[in-house]
Each structure stands twice: as C-alpha cells, then as structure tokens.
Amino acid sequence: MLPGLLTAIGFLVLWKAVSLVFLPTFLPSPVELLSNIAKIFSKPSAYLVVGKTLERVFIGLILSMLIGSSIGLVMGLRRSVGSFFDSWIMVLLTFPAISWAFLSVLWFGLSDVAPIFTVVLIVFPYVTMNVWEGTKALDKELTDMATVFRAKRFLLLRKVMIPQLMPYIFSSLRISFALSWKIALVSEAFGAGSGVGKELTYWFQSTRADMMLAWGASFMVLMVLIDIFLLRPWEKRVFSWRPLAIA
C-alpha cells in the first residue's frame, strides 16, 4: 500500500515538474488535466459523444464474442472445420489492423457500421483462437459420462462443454474489451462523424494535446471502471463453484 502511494506521489510530482517546462496546451499539469476533464463533462453533449462510442464498442464486442466463440467451438468439435478455418484465422490475425480501419471507411462511409465492422474483424479471430484452444482441453471422461447417461447434443454443449470453456471465454472477453475500445477510437478517428475518436481528431488538428489527453484519460477511466465493476464481479460469480488455488 505505502510503496504504491509513494510511487504515485513521486509520479505526480515529476509530471508537474516536467509540465512547467512546456506550454499547458502541449503538456498540462495534473491539475490542469483534471480541470480540462471537468470542462469537457460540464457540457451535456459530451455524454452523447461518450455514449455513441460506448455503443459501438459494446456492439462490436458482443458480435466479436458471439462470432468468435461459435467458430472456435465448431472448429474444436469438427476436425475438418478446424483445419479449414485454421489458416483463414491466421490470415485475419496477420492482416494489418490499420488497413481494416481505412477499408471500412471506404466501404461503409461515415456511419456506425465502419467502426463496428473494424472492431469485429480485428477482435473475433483472437476469440476464435482462444476458444478453439479451450476445446482441445475438453475432458473426454466427462463427455463419456454424459454419453453413457444419454445426454443429447444440446444438453452436452450447455452443461458439459461450455462450462469447461468459460475460463477461455472470460479471458477472451477481457482482452477483447480492452482491444475493442482502442480499435473503436482509432476507427472513429479515421472516419466516423461522431464519438470520442472524432473528438481526438478535432483536438489533434487544433494541436491541443491537453484536450486529447483529457478525452483519452476520461475514456480510459470509464473503461477501467467497467472492468472493475462489471466484468470482474461477473467473472467471480460465474466461477463461484471453483475454490481459489491462490489466496
């Protein structure tokens, strides 16, 4: 606790010291950053901007999780599907993310579709790889048990297989969440008429680093809060059956 606090204080002092050398619009001091954030969110329109971006992040994330998990699951359950998609997923993973961001603007124009499309294309292959890896660790003994008791395919999936994949699905979810919001912002910066990404472009063109930092920092804080108050408690609830190995 104490070393952490000291590090934080040290960092703030250093930041303040460096900021004295530069113009406040180039590198603001901690207090200036906070007052900029306060200024941004004193206008109601700021909430609409954040809301728009959040909407895109979540639609992109949910689609990526659904598409990614489904493909990963089918790849794991059918060997032929697995070897078929294997190289295609690698193609998607290696294709430059920035190209998707530009291409989707050309294809879909200034709309909600472009950022969502970009997020999905970049994020879902990670989910697929992760869930596919999970299917390789499925316990054959449990599948045999379910078969002896004559579980039908859907019951087997729901109560035997998917619960075993939950650790992989959750680790994908948290990584995908972090990835999704970064990609959504980049995509908005290129070609959306609204959202946090567009604000960043606007302040970039006005050479106002202080406002870019204020937007970036406030969005980051929001994302961390969502992780702490939504994703982590959810994960804890889903795995309540599992005694902790590490205290």
Position among 42, 243, 246, 247 found at the interface with another protein (CB under 8 A): 243
Amino acid identity of 65?
A: M
Question: Minimum Å distance from CB 243 to another protein?
Answer: 5
Question: By CB under 8 A, how many residues form the interface with another protein?
Answer: 20
Q: In this chain, which stretch among 78-86, 122-130, 136-144, 199-207 interacts with another protein, using CB under 8 A?
A: 136-144
Position among 146, 169, 192, 214 found at the interface with another protein (CB under 8 A): 146
Give dist(CA 4, CA 7) in Å, integer: 5
Give dist(CA 38, CA 106) in Å, integer: 36
Q: How many CB atoms sit inside 10 A of residue 92's CB? A: 17
Q: Does 96 bind another protein (CB under 8 A)?
A: no
Q: Does 237 bind another protein (CB under 8 A)?
A: no
Question: Minimum Å distance from CB 235 to another protein?
Answer: 13
Amino acid identity of 100?
A: W
Q: Does 148 bind another protein (CB under 8 A)?
A: yes
Give dist(CA 49, CA 232) in Å, integer: 26
Q: Does 228 bind another protein (CB under 8 A)?
A: no
Q: In this chain, which stretch among 90-98, 113-121, 148-156, 212-220 interacts with another protein, using CB under 8 A?
A: 148-156
Is 113:59 a contact under the CB 8 Å cutoff? Answer: no
DSSP string, 187-216: HHHHH-SSSHHHHHHHHHHTT-HHHHHHHH
Site string for another protein, 158-177 (x = CB under 8 A): -xx--x--x-----------
Give dist(CA 162, CA 65) in Å, integer: 14
Q: Does 234 bind another protein (CB under 8 A)?
A: no
Q: Among residues 80 and 141, whose Cβ is nearest to another protein?
A: 141
Q: Among residues 20 and 237, whose Cβ is nearest to another protein?
A: 237
CA 220 vs CA 14, 123, 125, 173, 228: distances in Å = 21, 19, 24, 17, 12
Radius of gyration for the chain, computed over Cα atoms and rounded to the nearest angstrom: 22
Position among 237, 241, 246, 247 found at the interface with another protein (CB under 8 A): 241
Q: Among residues 12 and 155, whose Cβ is nearest to another protein?
A: 155
Q: Where do contacts with another protein occur on this chain (CB under 8 A)?
A: 141-142, 144-152, 155, 159-160, 163, 166, 240-243
